[in-house]
Structures are given as C-alpha cells and as structure tokens.
Structure 1
C-alpha cells in the first residue's frame, strides 16, 4: 500500500467538522433547510468520487473514528459514511 498524502486526512476531517457543525447548530445559527441542502451536497460530491477513492476515504473516516477519544465525536465519525450516503448499511 502506498503512503497516503497527508492532505487527505486533513480534508476529510474538515468535511466531517463542517457536517457535524451543520447538524448540531441551532436554527438561529444556520437555516435548517440550508444545513440539509449543504449536507446533501457534501454527500453528492463524495459519491461522485471513483470507487477506489471512496474506499480510501472510508478508510480515513474509520481511522479517524478509531483514534477519536471523545465518545460523541467517535460515534458521529462511525456513523458518518452511512449518514452522508457513502454506504447503504450502517455497520454495528
């Protein structure tokens, strides 16, 4: 396996942070319809990646979840691929 570009985990972390923010902020911070639209847009872009790149990104998300010490963020990271539509079935 080739070494991963350090940009990939950094950008993956930013994507997760943005979606987490959109899902957790109140209606007074971000319009709920806008938050849903942006989250769906993120999922759409990620689904357009070639299969090998999607698989690589899924591995990055799994690695991030495994390394996360905060239980709430770990749970979010574990469910992120399912919630964003990258995988059809959420694994337990």
Structure 2
C-alpha cells in the first residue's frame, strides 16, 4: 500500500471514529473542533495535492468491501469540505 493510501485511510478512520464515538468517549465539541481542524488543514493543501487526495479517496472507496466504510469514504470529500455536492 502506498504512503498516500495509508495516510489517507488513517485520516478517514480517525474522523470516522470521532463522528461515531459516544458522548462519554469523546466530548462532542472536541470531536467537531478536531474534524473542522482537519478539514481546514486539508483545504490549505496546494490544489495538486488536494486532487491527489481526492483520487486516493476514490481508490480507497472503490477497493473497500465494507459498505459502511465505503459510504463514509465516498462522502468524506463532501463532509470535510474538499468537494461540493453537485445539484441535479
């Protein structure tokens, strides 16, 4: 597995964990702040690196066999602010 895929998968898993934790495990305000901070940092990447990240996310989603994680990977760019939902 490439470094990009490993680091991207780790980032997604951390955000997924923050979003799925019970309030007793992680303070909800702290989880939101961490997620927003990660999104802000990703938006600071140069455009070529953001594109590479989006391609890596697409590849991870296509290879993912677990439906819940695949759905999370597919929605991640929109949820974190890297992409905008296209209107029909």
Q: TM-score, normalised by structure 2?
A: 0.94
Question: Residues 90 and 61 (structure 1 numbering): CA distance in 2 closer, same or farther, change over 3 Å?
Answer: farther
Q: How big is the alpha-carbon RMSD for the aligned residues of Structure 1 and Structure 2?
A: 1.7
Cα distance in structure 2, aligned partners of 1:48 and 1:89? 20
Number of paired residues? 88
What is the aligned partner in structure 2 of residue 28 from structure 1?
A: 24
Unmatched 5+ stretches in structure 1 = none
Report the 3-state secondary structure (helix = DSSP H, G, I; strand = E; otherwise coil) of the residue aligned with 1:13: helix
Cα deviation code 1:27-73 (max 9, x no counterpart): 00000000000000000000000001000000000000000000011
The reply on whether 1:60 has 2:56 as its aligned counterpart is yes
If each structure's helix is expressed as a fraction of its own residues, which one has the higher value?
A: 2
